Structure 1
Amino acid sequence: MSQQEFPELGCYLLPGHTKTPRDALTEARHAEDLGLGKAWLSERFDVKDAGVICSGALAVTERIHVATAATNLHTRHPMVLATMCSSLHYMSDGRFELGLARGVAIRNQLMGLDTVTNKQMVDGLDILRTLWRGEKVMSYEGPMGNLPYLNPGDWLDADIPIYFVGFGPKSLSLAGKHFDGAHLHTFITPKGLENARKAVDGGAGEVGRSTEDLKICSVMATVLNPSREDHLRKIVGRMATYMQAAGYAEMLVSLNEWDPQVLTDFRADAEVSSMLGGIDSVATLEQLEHFETLIPTEWLSAAAVGSAEDCAQRIYEELQNGADEVCIHGSTPAEFAPVVDAYRSIKHGKGG
């Protein structure tokens, strides 16, 4: 199995909401043809089941890796999740990777699920890795529940990378201690990336782990030659929606070392507080014009926007700033193909 031209680049399949999940098959093939190393899937509880979509994407490709970013540890029984992952691993000759997140707090509550604790994460990883080695889990009773006897078959020997998907400081430290890498989020600045790397490496150092093989994937919102409407909907609207989210926005502001008063003032705005739903879903263009005046230019500049060369340069710089991988977000492979061509020229021109 030959390596892709750009193992350091990835993209999301089905970015955002979709009613046509079959598009993932075309997108995965196109991403592979462009030379990308990985395609990530953000699971949604409608028509974006992680096992189904990843299976389809792996079945129609031969080289590109496919990963979840993310699914959750507690929405499937540990044996079911382990089986899903090992099936994808063996079906694809080792091209599947698992990204795990804690889950959205309000959604967990609505589904009757508790928030995933650090202890649950650690025990869950140990259970998954034990099962993938073909070993039994017996008489377990703890944060992952009551598991009297799990036996996957002693022939299994699946080495599946596991990423933590998130960016809180404690979670990034946990990633450094127990995961194979961290998959960050959109709109993280170079300073935020530096802080994320310190947190991951610091966690690894606390338990004596080498940081050499710990990967950090930075997510880069990428909009090629945007119209004014594209800019408002894909950049301003996305950032404004993140700023609505309690807890999430605070972590983003903290990681990037931004002024928290900006967030307070944004949420206090009458137009913002009157939004009945996510801003990127319900706001008019006129409202987005107003929201743009409330968001510092610096906050929006964490994205890759402009010409193909501008976008490619921003992605290249992100890798030079400490990211091991960059996941292109907000555009399909058909839309960002010129960016990859420009990135090729920059990388080869730099001797990469």
Structure 2
Amino acid sequence: MTPTATTAPLPDSTTQQTLPEIGYYALSRHPVDPAELADEARLADREGFGAAFVSERFNVKDAAVLAGGLAAASRRMGIATAATNHNTRHPIITASMGATLSTMTGGRFALGLGRGFAAQWQVLGVPDVTSAQLSDAASVLRTLWRGEMILGHDGPLGTFDYLNLGVPVPPVPILLVTMSPNTLRLAGRIADGVVLHTFFSDAATSAAVDTVRAAADDAGRDPASVRIWSVLATVPDQLDEDDRLRRLYGRLATYLQGYPDVLMRANAWHQDDLDRIRASSAFADARGPIDATATADELARLAEVIPSSWVADSAVGDAERCAAAVARQFDLGVDSVIMHGAAPSELLPVLRAYRSIRPAVRPLPVNPGSVAG
């Protein structure tokens, strides 16, 4: 018998209604302690978060391991990688990972794939990611998850004589995690869902939604069949000042270390501002990812040099103000919102405030890559 998400035990009287449209990033604080994952997940599951997302870093944030931990610790909420990369695993390993997690969770898992960035792949000696590869990977994975055998595959993903899982599994939706117009259009053509990027302005989010929906329509798909998640930096003011600076300005500075150009283009930010940030010793002398290594003084200096407009559309302030910022995301056309940058325990006041103002959103399943149960 194929398991389904409805086989989970019924919640007890202390369990809150699940909000499928609201997610969080697991282990979003830095430095990371993976031992916190299970307690976070149990709390989030009980309090009604709809989904937990895993962002992979090549240190102590292996996506498959963390997703398995989330699966074991939760009973109701969806789980997704957002993102891992197809070029770091053999396709049969990725297929097996998705199949295992989907079966283990009763169909609550979605596989989120992304491009990563070229400089990292060059350092690691791994081939860069192309749109053709992503399309081919999605096709191969879906074929394998249907229980079909692949013989003599020769395509952008690679050449493989034989690929086969041997068993059909519950459908595994595929998400693309992106902020570039080209990949947003690709997502509209081939993906079940899209995860946007933290620190998108409201205008950038609206434009991204339009791009995905238009591409889906051009491909003959129902534009509403692609589930779109915005990622909203959520930094409530009950955190101490140094922590707020790390999760807001430190996190943004880390993205500017890795892939500034695409984020700059998406938000129409000015190059002069980026040049000024790069000239700051707090940025130029960074000892690694800034959100994990910067001192309190360095974070304060980054907050002075990064334009306030670059973080203006984040959720900051008291719980009610943060909740209102979350609710406004739906006016931009997204289906769901990831509150990024804080643990579920830190987000509980925001989640509770959101419940009191929850807008009329479309009914959604807990699988973060699906729009229909």
Same fold flag (TM > 0.5): yes
SS at match of 2:232: strand
User: Aligned pair count?
Assistant: 347
Shift of 1:181: 1.4
Shift in CA distance, 219/127, structure 1 to aligned 2, threshold 3 Å: same
1:295 equivalent in structure 2: 306
- CA distance in 2 between counterparts of 1:77 and 1:271 reads 39
1:103 equivalent in structure 2: 116
**Are residues 1:335 and 2:343 paired?**
no
Q: Deviations over 1:67-117 (max 9, x none)?
A: 101111011111111011111111111011110011232322222211111
Alignment of 1:274-313 (within 5 A): 274-313=285-324
Shift in CA distance, 75/266, structure 1 to aligned 2, threshold 3 Å: same
- Matched letter for residue 264 of structure 1: D
Shift of 1:197: 0.8
SS at match of 1:131: helix
- Matched letter for residue 286 of structure 1: D
Alignment of 1:60-79 (within 5 A): 60-79=73-92
Select between 224-233 and 78-87 the one with higher mean Cα deviation.
Answer: 224-233
SS at match of 1:198: helix
2:370 equivalent in structure 1: none
**Are residues 1:161 and 2:173 paired?**
yes
Shift of 1:270: 5.2
- Matched letter for residue 171 of structure 1: T
Q: Deviations over 1:35-77 (max 9, x none)?
A: 1110001122233222222122112221111110111101111
Alignment of 1:259-270 (within 5 A): 259-269=270-280
1:42 equivalent in structure 2: 55
Q: 1:251 aligns with which of 253, 262, 267?
A: 262
Shift in CA distance, 74/271, structure 1 to aligned 2, threshold 3 Å: closer
2:106 equivalent in structure 1: 93
Q: 1:221 aligns with which of 215, 230, 233?
A: 233
- Structure 1 regions of 5+ residues with no counterpart? none
Q: 2:96 aligns with which of 83, 88, 95?
A: 83
- CA distance in 2 between counterparts of 1:260 and 1:205 reads 34
Percent identity for Structure 1 against Structure 2: 41
Select between 69-78 and 272-281 the one with higher mean Cα deviation.
Answer: 272-281
Shift of 1:235: 1.2
TM-score in terms of structure 2 length: 0.87
Q: Deviations over 1:308-337 (max 9, x none)?
A: 101111001112221211111111111111
- Matched letter for residue 99 of structure 1: G
Select between 236-245 and 54-63 the one with higher mean Cα deviation.
Answer: 236-245
- CA distance in 2 between counterparts of 1:275 and 1:331 reads 23
- Preserved contact between residue 100 and residue 162 of structure 1 (Cα < 8 Å): yes
- CA distance in 1 between counterparts of 2:111 and 2:220 reads 24
SS at match of 1:316: helix
- CA distance in 2 between counterparts of 1:10 and 1:162 reads 17
- Matched letter for residue 35 of structure 2: R
- CA distance in 2 between counterparts of 1:14 and 1:270 reads 28
1:212 equivalent in structure 2: 224
- Preserved contact between residue 43 and residue 49 of structure 1 (Cα < 8 Å): yes
SS at match of 1:22: helix
- Preserved contact between residue 250 and residue 260 of structure 1 (Cα < 8 Å): no
Shift of 1:196: 0.7
Structure 1 runs, 4 residues or longer, greater than 6 Å off: none
Shift in CA distance, 288/59, structure 1 to aligned 2, threshold 3 Å: closer
Shift of 1:256: 1.8
- Preserved contact between residue 23 and residue 339 of structure 2 (Cα < 8 Å): yes
Which protein has greater RCO, CA pairs closer than 8 Å, 6+ apart?
2
SS at match of 1:212: helix
Q: Deviations over 1:22-41 (max 9, x none)?
A: 32111111111111110001
2:365 equivalent in structure 1: none
Q: 2:165 aligns with which of 152, 157, 160?
A: 152
- Matched letter for residue 108 of structure 2: R
- Preserved contact between residue 166 and residue 183 of structure 1 (Cα < 8 Å): yes
- Preserved contact between residue 66 and residue 95 of structure 1 (Cα < 8 Å): yes
Alignment of 1:118-157 (within 5 A): 118-153=131-166, 155-157=167-169
- Matched letter for residue 157 of structure 2: M
- Matched letter for residue 171 of structure 2: D
Shift in CA distance, 43/277, structure 1 to aligned 2, threshold 3 Å: closer
SS at match of 1:323: coil
Select between 87-96 and 50-59 the one with higher mean Cα deviation.
Answer: 50-59
**Are residues 1:236 and 2:244 paired?**
no
SS at match of 2:225: coil
SS at match of 2:34: coil
SS at match of 2:159: strand
Shift of 1:294: 2.0
Shift of 1:269: 4.0
Q: Compute the RMSD of aligned alpha carbons.
A: 1.9
- CA distance in 1 between counterparts of 2:184 and 2:285 reads 34
- CA distance in 2 between counterparts of 1:221 and 1:94 reads 28
- Matched letter for residue 355 of structure 2: R
SS at match of 1:103: coil
- Matched letter for residue 326 of structure 1: V
Select between 118-127 and 47-56 the one with higher mean Cα deviation.
Answer: 47-56
SS at match of 1:334: helix
- Preserved contact between residue 191 and residue 257 of structure 1 (Cα < 8 Å): no
